Amino acid sequence: MELLTINNVWMMICTALVFFMHLGFAFLEIGLTRQKNTLNILFKNIFIITTGLLLYALVGFNLMYPGFAEGSSGIFGFAGFGLSSPLTAEGALDLTYNEGYTYWTDFLFQGMFAATAATIVSGAVAERMKILPFMIFAVIYVGIVYPVAGSWKWGGGFLDQLSTPFYDFAGSTLVHSVGGWAAVVAVCLLGARIGKFKKGEIQAIPGHNIPLATAGVLILWLGWFGFNGGSVLSADPGLTSLTLVTTCLSAAAGGVVAAIVSTIMYKNLDLTMFLNGILGGLVGITAGADQMSPTDAILIGAIAGVIIVFAVSLIDKLKLDDPVGAIAVHLICGIWGTLAVGLFGNLAGVDQFISQLIGVASYAVFCLVTSFIIIYTLKKTMGIRVSEKEELEGLDVHEHGMDAYPDFRLNEH
């Protein structure tokens, strides 16, 4: 009982840290975009976490952990609507649910992850997507697509049943790439912001509050202690400590290397590239944080730092407008981190690498197809892009009827 209590308390602390990450995402997104769209981004982030938790309670949790029967395909299962309290015959809470945590803690911890996938898309489509279509997309993606995809590995589905099981410790693919693939589709169907590409030239559209974006990244880094540390699913001192060390070292290496490479390439000390390098290192280590040595973690983060710089440049050259770098960070570094499990650490080997490739390909196909169906249908039925006037004047005024930074002097007499 004492061990269960210790484990459960640690899991609840990690749940709180992952919840705190949503503030980090919000700060990062509004910091890297323009002042006139601040409220719109904040509204979407609040909508995602609130609606996401309700959807996860109603259908998501039981879609993600359906209890696949022996011999099933391991592709789709559903354990029923709502949450059911596991009770003993005497009607007391059943504490034998799991040696590491209770049923309720399990739900809440996993629920915090669920909303993250749609938050990644929010940043990529910032400043030009209508809010109602985005909300509909988020409901379907968080409520159905993410938990079905998650069941393939974390719910004991077909990727977990491979002869060499696909491995994703905390979600480089299951969370980050699932959001990243949808972000690619959304950005392609939306088109670039007005003024981003002029006469074939890439025009920088600076964010309005870089200090806030910096705070967002540091909050996300702090939240990753829960994201990865909680994925140990217990308070095991050795494994938890190692996981936090590899997570931090990868983040640090990603930031430093991205700063160095971008300085060499562009001859300026770019703070936003430094920040995205940190995030790239965090996403990169997430798939195998519990399997890596400190040296492995530094190498994985360093390579993610290089990848970030070239990925941001590539995305611009492809005329894809991603205001916050979500595709480079979450998708491309998510893929790298997933494949790195087969190259570094305790699981490295040809068979594991092949399983990692199968996993990456499976999620790519599923997420590209489902997100395209959802967003393309919305585009053809209700439209997904705001008008030119709304985009130029800002979504805050047109979609919310207020300003995030009102000039109080206008109201003085």
In a domain, 116, yes or no: yes
Total domains in the chain come to 1
Give residues with Cβ within 8 angstroms of 72, minimum separation 6: none
Would you give the distance in Å from CA 127 to the centre of its chain? 19
**Percent of residues, the chain, with pLDDT higher than 90:** 83
What is the rounded (10 degree) CA torsion for 61, 63, 67, 69?
Answer: 180
Residue pair 258/311 in contact by the 8 Å Cβ criterion? no
pLDDT(257) > 90:
yes
Instruction: Yes or no: say if 280 and 254 are a contact pair by the CB < 8 Å rule.
Output: yes
126 assigned to some structural domain: yes
Q: What is the mean pLDDT of residues 39-59?
A: 96
Weakest mean pLDDT among 37-46, 63-72, 272-281: 63-72
Domain-located, residue 357: yes
Residue 71: inside a domain: no
> Percent of the chain beyond pLDDT 70?
95
The stretch 250-262 carries a mean pLDDT of: 98
Asked if 250 contacts 305 with a C-beta cutoff of 8 angstroms, the reply is: no
Contacts of 373 (CB under 8 A, 6+ apart): none
Residue 87 in domain: no
Q: Which one, of 261, 367, 272, 357, lies nearest residue 306 by Cα? A: 261
User: Given this model, what pLDDT does residue 10 score?
Assistant: 94
Task: Encode pLDDT of 304-330 as tens digits.
Answer: 999 999 999 999 999 999 999 999 999
Separation between Cα atoms, residue 331 and residue 177, nearest integer Å: 4
The verdict on residue 222 lying in a domain is yes
pLDDT for 98 equals 72
Whether the predicted pLDDT of 231 surpasses 60: yes
Residue 321: which region, alpha, beta or left (left: phi > 0; alpha: psi -120 to 50)? beta
- For residue 395, what pLDDT is reported? 93
State the average pLDDT over residues 269-294.
97
How far apart (Å, rounded) are the C-alpha atoms in residues 343 and 304?
14
Exposure class string for 371-408: b at 16+ Cβ within 10 A, else e:
bbebbeebeeeeebbbeeeebeebbbebbbeeebeeee
Please indicate, yes or no, if residue 88 is contained in any of the structural domains. Answer: no
Helical segments of 267-326, H only: 271-285, 294-317, 326
Distance CA(317)–CA(301), nearest Å, equals 24
Cα 359 from Cα 172, distance rounded (Å):
11
What does the pLDDT average to over 295-299? 98
pLDDT greater at residue 91 or residue 164: 164
Q: Give the pLDDT score at 214.
A: 98
Give the pLDDT confidence score for residue 92 in this predicted structure: 58
Supply the pLDDT for residue 408: 57
Which residue segment(s) compose the domain that 184 sits in? 2-66+93-411
Average pLDDT of every residue of the chain: 93
**CA 278 – CA 308 distance, rounded (Å):** 10
| Segment 50-108, tens digit of pLDDT | 999 999 999 999 999 998 878 788 999 998 999 886 665 555 556 667 777 888 899 99
pLDDT at 413 over 50: no
> 3-class DSSP state for residue 202?
strand
User: Is position 82 within any domain?
Assistant: no
Question: Are the CB atoms for 308 and 282 separated by under 8 Å?
Answer: no
Per-residue pLDDT at 40:
96
SS3 content of the chain, % helix, strand, coil (to 5): 65, 0, 30
CATH of residue 258's domain is 1.10.3430.10
DSSP secondary structure, 216-245, as one string = HHHHHHHHHHHHHHGGG-S--HHHHHHHHH
Mean pLDDT of 104-132: 92
For residue 320 the two structure tokens come to 């894809």
Which residues lie below 8 Å from residue 399, measured CB to CB, with a gap of 6+? 40, 130, 131, 386, 390
**Residue 364 above 80 pLDDT?**
yes
Q: Write down the pLDDT at residue 147.
A: 96
DSSP-derived letter for residue 151 is: H
